[in-house]
Chains A and B, each alone.
Chain A
Amino acid sequence: MSTTTLPAPGQNPTLHTKRLPAVAFLGIAVVALGVSAAICYGTGLGGWVLTLVIGLVLYMVGVYFAVRAVEGSRSARNRTWSALIHSAFVLAVLPLASVTWTLISKGMERFDGDFFNSSMNNIGARDPNGGAYHAIIGTLEQVGIAALITIPLGVLGAIYIVEYGRGRFTFLIRFFVDVMTGIPSIVAGLFVLAFWVLIVSPWFNNGAPAFSGFAAALALSVLMLPTIVRSTEEMLRLVPAPLREGSYALGVPKWKTILKIVIPTALPGIVTGIMLSIARAAGETAPVLLVAGGSAAINFNPFTGQQGSLSLFVFQQAGDASRFAPARAWTGALTLVALVLILTIAAKLLARRNRIPR
């Protein structure tokens, strides 16, 4: 296929063996694309996507045989794998680009003051307005309560694992913290449904199960706890032992060493982990769907009455039959992604700036 572009023998005076010049690869690519276009459009097999796919396959086959003829079969395998690995990367960037583009282009349509200042109360199928005010309040309150519950619990648990724990019991805790990070969010929702909504909340609500924002916060706590324990644990382990020993040598008791020396040293990392887990919790839909009820009206009280959340808002609007619903869903999604990504990026930058030197 590319024998015309081979270098003349003896052209390469270095110790290297003969190499295929870069022009040859370009030639192979052009020929592969041309052949695949001829196949696809000539026989009516498919459009430009298929042309690209077949072109890529042909390119790799072409490169393999061309390089094998010039540089040998080992080098040929090397080049083909390298091309495969690079194309895997391109393939993964495509959906990322598509998600980003549609989020921004479709999300900007309703990204206005009305969206952030009104709820979905009394918004019918023919009303183009309506917004996510109630949902944003729900998300902030639920995630806030979940953080209040989880942060002390998670940090103390991590302190136990790193500073006090020895033996099998600690190993068991560590193992199940790791396992718990993989629990599906819907199972956390079902747990809170079975435990809080169906069994505990009827005591306060005249025997009827009460859906509330607090129940959603409990479900989010179940999801946040293992991630906070895990990240805090890793950060505490990074605190240099001499810092602790110095404190002990000055006669400071262990608990005070932990609170005054170890935690402040690891604080930036701990905060990063907490922010990441908050970002993850803010995006969860399934548990909120099961236990918060999902109200269309503004409800500031997380303890009584149903509440919505931003991710639930997106889910509901995506399934709504109104022709104005998709625009609301996209704007809701854009808001949610903006919230989550700002938290995530801020957390990662914080982690990068305040890395503990080992």
Chain B
Amino acid sequence: MADRHSRSADVSTGGPGVTNSHARPAGATASTGVLDGRSGGDAPVPPDLRHTGGGLGGGGSLPRRKGFGAENAFRGLTLAAGTMVLVIIVAITIFLVAKAIPALQANDANFLTTKEWFANETPARFGIAALAWGTVVSAVIALLVAVPIALGIALYLSHYANKRIATVLGFLIDLLAAVPSVVYGLWGLMVFIDPVRDLSVWLNKYFSWLPFFNGEAPFGRSLLLGGLVLAIMVLPIITSLSREVFMQTPTANEEAALALGATKWEMIRTAVLPYGRPGVIASVMLGLGRALGETIALAMTLGFLNVISLNVIENGGNSIAANIANGFGEAGEIGRGALIASGLVLFTITLIVNMIARAIIYRRREFTESAA
């Protein structure tokens, strides 16, 4: 509203004596019609005509400021749309809680420490201990595999590959992120399972003294397979964000390191990595959020045994999200509530992880903006 001209300015500068619009002082009364949102056709009102109303003073016939005009309506519309996001987040919480409470009250066991999931029996007995374990283990495997490789690719694309190759490859990596998770699940179930089974047999043969790799065949549909498929899925997320941060490293910092005689790796270690650390941490957190919440790929590759064990190669394993997808079909009233309760736990965990990641990115953004 600050760009609206005041009436007093109109009175003093553009009186009835002004006949030619070109003669007016710049910005005085040029187009009062447009200012108040009338259609553009009648915008340049000649000053003489404006006084036919016979009011007092030069500004007498200016359109009155409306209390509720197009401007306010539009503003309100956008405000409502913007608020929608907050409404949805709150609504998700409210409705999940509302549907979860009856099921939790019907639960005959401790929801947090029970391993079994018998939500459709009477009395219902279910808990998320084993599911949460499977969720965390598969996400940890995914990150252990994906983070070093993703950082390697990000550095390769930002500092090693020549520019044209880097553009094409970066594009390909982004496409990898666009492939739907059901396709990765299918690939994991029908193709990737064979090498992973061979790897499991090999690990079991030589490393069975480690608690992760002991146990007996059959191998294959295990947390290891799920975790590796997840690793391929989070790889592009971590890569693209880290690459962006690495490319933002100030050239001055890099050149200063090189001028002091640093080798390329020393330059990366002293200039690029410290600068990119918050961004890398944030990208890993985003990847973690994705890995924790991934549903279909795990629902297709895990073996579904609700146990807590360190073993990652035996058939078995289950995660919160995969349990929802696979258990939903035969769930009754209490069963649905139980699945919604587990979904609420997942929602809370991913919300916290994402909020931490975003908080890191935001702090960093302020830092870079003030530096630029």
Contacts and interface: CB of A to CB of B under 8 A. Distances in A.
A152 B77 CA distance: 10
B178 A229 contact: no
A314 B186 contact: yes
A187 B343 contact: yes
Interface string A90-111: 0110011011001100100000
Contacts of B336: 193, 198
A191 interface: yes
B78 A318 contact: no
A179 B354 contact: yes
Given A78-B266, A187-B347, A286 B176 contact: no
Interface string A290-316: 100000000000000000000100110
B220 interface: no
Contact of A225 (B35, B85, B235, B361): B85
Interface residues of B, number: 102
A91 B151 CA distance: 12
Contacts of A175: 355, 358, 362
A58 to B, nearest CB: 18
Contacts of B156: 85-86, 88-89
Contacts of B171: 348
Contacts, number: 280
B339 interface: yes
A316 B235 CA distance: 26
Contacts of B37: 253, 255-256
A144 interface: no
Interface in A320-335: 326, 329-330, 333
A188 B232 CA distance: 23
A27 interface: no
Contacts of A311: 180, 182, 296
B290 A96 contact: no
A157 B206 CA distance: 57
Nearest to B356: A179
15 contacts: A45-B206, A78-B265, A81-B268, A85-B160, A89-B153, A184-B295, A190-B343, A191-B95, A199-B95, A222-B88, A255-B37, A255-B75, A282-B180, A283-B179, A290-B324
Contacts of A182: 286, 289-290, 293, 350, 353-354, 357
B263 A74 contact: yes
Contacts of B88: 180, 222, 225
A225 B84 contact: yes
Contacts of B195: 49
B85 A180 contact: yes
A185 interface: yes
B340 interface: yes
A64 to B, nearest CB: 12
A114 interface: no
